[in-house]
Structure 1
Amino acid sequence: MIHLLNLMAAIALLVWGTYQVRTGMLRVFGENLRHVLARSVGHRLTALLAGLGVTSLVQSATATGLIVSSFVGRGLVPTAAALTVMLGADVGSALMAVVFSFDLSWLSPLLIVVGVVLFIGQGNAIGGRIGRVLIGLGLITLALQLIVGATRPLTASPTVRLLLAGLPQDLLLDIVIGAVLTLAAYSSLAIVLLTATLAVEGIVNPATAFGLVLGANIGSGLLALIVTSRDSPATRRLPLGNLLFKAGGVAAMLPLPAALPQLLPHLPGALHEQVVGFHLAFNAVLAVVCLGLTAPMARLVERWLPDAAPDPARQRRSHLDPVALTTPSLAISCAAREALHQADVVEQMLRGVMGVLQDNDLVLAEQLKRRDDEVDRLYSAIKFYLTQISREALSERESRRWTDIVSFTINMEQIGDGIERVLIDIEDKKIRKQRRFSEAGMAEICHLHERLLSNLRLGMSVFLDGHVRDARRLLEEKAHFRDLEHRYAANHIARLQEHTAESIETSSLHLDLLSELKRINSHICSIAYPILESKGALAATRIKPSQLGELAERAEPLQH
């Protein structure tokens, strides 16, 4: 029993090691890997090499497939080009299985020691993330050694040998078992390495080992299809096409058991090298054969999975792609795009305020207030989406961007609430009481409204680009807007002293509008603070240094 438990623990360590390497690589290179894939799809050869290279780094063709699937779903990459990337990704995953099949027992302790030192010493910095990757690589090699040690007592047991001898030699059953194990482990690489090790120790015979490898390939295709099952038809096309390619290749291998006795003596290397070599050869030949079939396969899956008819109740599709959550850098970009859409809705609300104010349009007022419900819904959706992103998987820059998005969406939600309060005030204090502003008063509010729109657009630009120059301009606008509000409030008081009838009737509304517009502008200008703080360009206080001493002197008598 203890030997079986040790074997299960070693297998779990192998799966955990591959997970650590995959997530660690995505943390270090996630955004760059995404750009490499996006820019390499213009030519078949570059697309193939990009898929191979990226997957060799992240140790997972599934992770690469999910990134490219999200591109296809957004129309950024054609299906045929994405299928080419996936052919290269499968070759890259098989290539790493070959690398790990070598005797790296001497390397395992070195990788773990160096990785732990880097991880503890530098934490979430780039060095710490590289240390995490080294720890994962060390765990993979260590797990393979533990599997060998745990299987030797099992193979020596007469009972185990009797059970293995009684198992049916059925290639289809082996393929199904390999696929199920891959789904359970979330890694075809781990299952292929496990199969090669078990074959060397005599737990499985060569025919079964090759069947399990074929099943691992089918399982990796099924895994991507399952993960994207709830996404749009366009996003599901790539996993389906890739699975069909794999299924075709496996179908061509069904006569393998009959040819295996004549084939094995001619294969180079030991048995474990033959198993991983078969895995690499299968994917390499599949890539070569299917490279010219990507266009027909793309047309086939596009016919099977046509674009869904637009829903009249919801024409727009959210940028919050659940598939992208497995790639945090991509998920951050999705959340930022949705936050910009939230800002677009807020801008539409703000633009409509003057139509309600000038034309006494109650219908428009109700429409704009309903848009605030949409702003609130977007805020909740973005916030929930961001909470699903692993903060540990983000680089330092991406973590700051995560915080910026949260701050931006909060400000947009509060601006929407402020606009709704403005609309309610206009309805209650102007439209229903049939009052109107003086010409001078209306001109002042219109001017503040124009500056507010201009500041909102500047704030969106600051959020999008993060330029310090624009962020400073936005804070300067805050001070300028405050001065305008004070001046226009003083002008209104002067008109009251002159007994201007319109000003007397709308005095409460006028002052409330000035105050609310200033509050909205403050939320807009708050977009600049995270940008300036991250660049070290934010002053600790707005009070002039010469005034700090005076304030301290005034405070001393109060303390006594």
Structure 2
Amino acid sequence: MYFLLNLFSAIALLAFGVYMTKKTVISSCGASIGNVLRNVVDSKFKAVLIGLGTTMLVQSSTATSLLVSSFLKKNLLSLGIALAIMLGADLGTAIMARVLTCDLSIVSPILLTLGIFLYLGFADRVKLHLSGGIMLGLGLILLALRLIVQTTQTVTHAELTAVLLKSLTDEITFALILGMILAVICFSSLAAVLLTSLLCTTGAIEVSGALAVVIGANIGSCILEIIGALKQGISAKRVMYGNTLFKIIIGVIALCLLTPIENAEKETSFPLSEFVIWFHVVFNAVICIFMLPCVGLMSKLLYALIPERKVEYDPNTPEHLDVAAYIDPNLALGNAVREVLSLGDFLQQMFSNLGNSIAYKPQEGVSSNDMKNRIRDIAGKISEYLAGVNFDSKKQRRRMNRCLIASADVSECAHIINGMIKRLNKANSNYSASFIPEIRNELGRISSECSSAVNLAVNAFFRNGKEEKQNYIEKKNQCLKLITNFHSNYIGNTHLNAEQDMRFFMILLEILEQYRHICVIFDPLFHKGELKSQEIEMNLTED
């Protein structure tokens, strides 16, 4: 029992080291990795290299698979290119297994010492902080591998262990299952292959049994990826199933060639423990070389086996809030921003309904109340989505705050417009005599200008450019002038002759005040000093 506790704690440390490395690498260069993945269009060879390099950086083929799944879901990658990236990712994992199993006992304490110093001592300096996190993660991986070796050394030399292992690995089927179980328990094919290599030093496992365990460990790592893809949609499932089929095909061929491989091992000068690790590298290299030309055929097969499901469109369901993007904060922020833009489209539909109410026309499409509830619900889901992302830099947190402010502003704007439509409907039914065509025309013009100002504000939020902000300010000022002119022409100079007229003009005053509120509601999205300076520049230009 004590042995199992030590082993599982070492495995847990290995998993945390991989997580730490993955998190800090993606935080520091996740945007660059994402841009590189997006730019892979039709070159399968380039896709393999990118998958290999990405996995060697983040120390996890699972992390690469999540990024690939996210881009595939947005149709930024084809299925064939995604499969090629995963072939490179598995090869990168195998190469890193070879590197990390070398004697790096001196490197581990250096990485841990320097890493913890940078990670904790420079929390306010992002680059040094993240560099320390990468060092710390790599140091923990090396330390965990050493602990796994030390923990299992005492047990592997026991006679009972030798008998159990020999009985298990004499049968190839049992050896395959053992490899799968080890990979799933260890959350890593690396740890499973390392344990197999260590057990080979005791002589308890024959060559054929050890190679079968390695093949099983490679297939077992795919089981973890499939489990992770279950919640990521059809596209992610296709990639993971295709990658698993590649490994099963080459795995079956390798099992048929175990005898020649065993003879080759006897002719080499490598000890069995080293041969097992090199076999792990060569196995993944063979998969990459021989399966790369087949990615197109595999794509067609996967589309036939896993067809698209006909999902009814639900406008209340966010389109861009992909949980798989949590692995890259910049990608998750981009998804949230796109969702805010879709809220802006819904808001324009509400402005269209507002214009119909002003013109005394029937409402078209979804009612304003349902649209308001839809915007409110999706804005709440944006907040929940961003709450699940770990932001490491101040820049990312600022972008997150702006995104939350924008979604809240759009939701508030929808609430205001819904109230305006109700007041206008009341005015149409109760005070139609006072609601003369001139007033309707001017209100329609104000509504159109206000809609344009809101659209420009959302566009300025998305692009964050100086020109977009100036366009928003200019349109906002035009709308405010129209409101002021309307007030002076139709309310300030009007003599109220009846109580009915007074109530009607009270409704108009409320509507004008709400138009003013909408015009300035998006100002908190931008720096006040910046907006003020741009307004002064524009006023000087007008003068």
User: So what's the TM-score if we normalise by structure 1?
Assistant: 0.87
2:355 is the counterpart of 1:367: no
User: Equivalent residue of 2:494, what SS?
Assistant: helix
Cα distance in 2, alignment partners of residues 435 and 525 from structure 1: 37
Structure 1, residues 175-212: CA drift from partner, whole Å, max 9, x if none? 23333343344333343334334444667554444333
Listed as ranges, the matches of 1:148-297 within 5 Å are: 148-200=149-201, 206-255=207-256, 257-259=258-260, 261-297=262-298
Q: Which residue of 1 aligns with 2:23?
A: 23
- For 2:389, the equivalent position in structure 1 comes to 389
Q: In structure 2, what is the Cα distance between the partners aligned to 1:538 and 1:429?
A: 36
Give the Cα separation in 2 of the matches to 1:188 and 1:31: 27
- Cα contact 1:41–1:85 (8 A) shared by 2: no
Aligned to 2:407: 409
Answer yes or no: is the 8 Å Cα contact 1:437–1:502 preserved in 2.
no
Q: Distance in 1 between matches of 2:464 and 2:37?
A: 25
8 A Cα contact 2:316 2:377, kept in partner: no
Partner of 1:65: 65
C-alpha distance in 1, partners of 2:164/2:309?
Answer: 51
Distance 1:87 1:156, change over 3 A: closer
Residue 398 of structure 1 aligns with an amino acid whose one-letter code is Q
Among candidates 389, 393, 399, match of residue 397 of structure 2: 399
Q: Partners of 2:518 and 2:269 in 1: how far apart?
A: 73
Which residue of structure 1 aligns with residue 541 of structure 2?
none
SS in 2 for 1:76: coil
Report what 2:102 is aligned to: 102
Counterpart code for 1:341 = S
1:310 is displaced (CA, Å) by: 4.5
**1-side partners of 2:470 and 2:186: how far apart?**
50
- Against the structure 1 CA distance between its residues 375 and 40, is the aligned structure 2 distance closer, same or farther, given a 3 Å change threshold? same
TM-aligned CA distance change 1:146 to 1:538, over 3 Å:
farther
Superposed CA deviations along residues 236-271 of structure 1, whole A, max 9, x for unmatched, are 221111111111111112235544542322345343
* 1:42-91 deviation per Cα after TM superposition (whole angstroms, max 9, x unaligned): 21211111111111111111211221122222222211121111111111
Deviation, structure 1 residue 398: 3.0
- Native 8 Å contact 1:455 1:524 kept in 2: no
CA positional deviation for 1:98? 1.0
Partner residue in 1 for 2:142: 141
* SS of match in other structure, 2:255: coil
For residue 462 of structure 1, report the CA deviation from its aligned partner. 1.5
Question: Which residue identity does 1:416 align to in structure 2?
Answer: A
Inter-partner Cα distance in structure 2 for 1:471 and 1:197: 63
Let me know the Cα RMSD of the aligned residues. Answer: 3.0
Equivalent pair of 2:321/2:332 in contact (CA under 8 Å): yes
Structure 2: runs of 5 or more not aligned: 537-543
* Structure 1 equivalent of residue 540 of structure 2: none
Per the alignment, do residues 13 and 163 of structure 1 end up closer, same or farther by CA in structure 2, a change over 3 Å counting? same
Q: Distance in 2 between matches of 1:156 and 1:246?
A: 32
**Are 2:466 and 1:465 aligned?**
no
For 1:301, give the aligned amino acid.
L
**Alignment match of 2:429 (pick from 420, 428, 431):** 431
Match of 1:558? none
Q: Which moved more, 1:285-294 or 1:458-467?
A: 458-467
Q: Is the 2:83–2:243 Cα contact (8 Å) retained in structure 1? A: yes
CA contact (8 A) 2:26 2:327 kept: no
Q: CA separation in 2, counterparts of 1:94 and 1:328? A: 27
* CA 312–303 in structure 1, closer or farther in 2 if over 3 Å, else same: same
Amino acid across the alignment from 2:24: G
Alignment of structure 1 residues 485-496 onto 2, 5 Å: 485-496=483-494
| Deviation at residue 93 of structure 1 after TM alignment | 1.1
Q: Give 1:104 shift.
A: 0.5
Deviation (angstroms), 1:487: 4.2
> Structure 1's 198 and 117: CA in aligned 2 closer, same or farther, altered over 3 A?
farther
Q: Rate the CA distance shift 1:469–1:38 in 2: closer, same or farther, 3 A.
A: same
Q: Give the count of matched residue pairs.
A: 534
Partner of 2:539: none
Deviations 1:351-375 (A, max 9, x none): 22111211242x4497222211221
Match of 1:37 in 2: 37
1:96-129, Cα deviation, whole Å (9 max, x unpaired): 1111011100101111111111111222612111
Give me the whole-angstrom Cα distance separating, in 2, the residues matched to 1:204 and 1:336. Answer: 55
Cα distance change of structure 1 residues 369 and 233 upon mapping to structure 2, 3 Å threshold? same
- The structure-2 alpha-carbon separation of the partners of 1:16 and 1:201, relative to structure 1 and needing over 3 Å to count, comes to farther
Aligned to 1:49: 49
Match of 1:497 among 478, 495, 498: 495
1:509 has 2:510 as partner: no
C-alpha separation in 2, matches of 1:366 and 1:285: 56
Which stretch has the larger CA shift, 292-301 or 463-472? 463-472
Aligned counterparts of 2:203 and 2:5: Cα–Cα separation in 1: 18
**SS in structure 1 of the partner of residue 521 of structure 2:** helix
CA contact (8 A) 1:147 1:197 kept: no
- Shift in CA distance, 428/184, structure 1 to aligned 2, threshold 3 Å: farther
Corresponding residue number in structure 2 for 1:548: none
The 3 A distance-change label for structure 1 pair 137 and 171 is same
Number of the residue aligned with 1:526: 524
- Distance, in Å, in 2 between the alignment partners of 1:325 and 1:455 is 33
Deviation at 1:466, TM superposition (A): 1.4
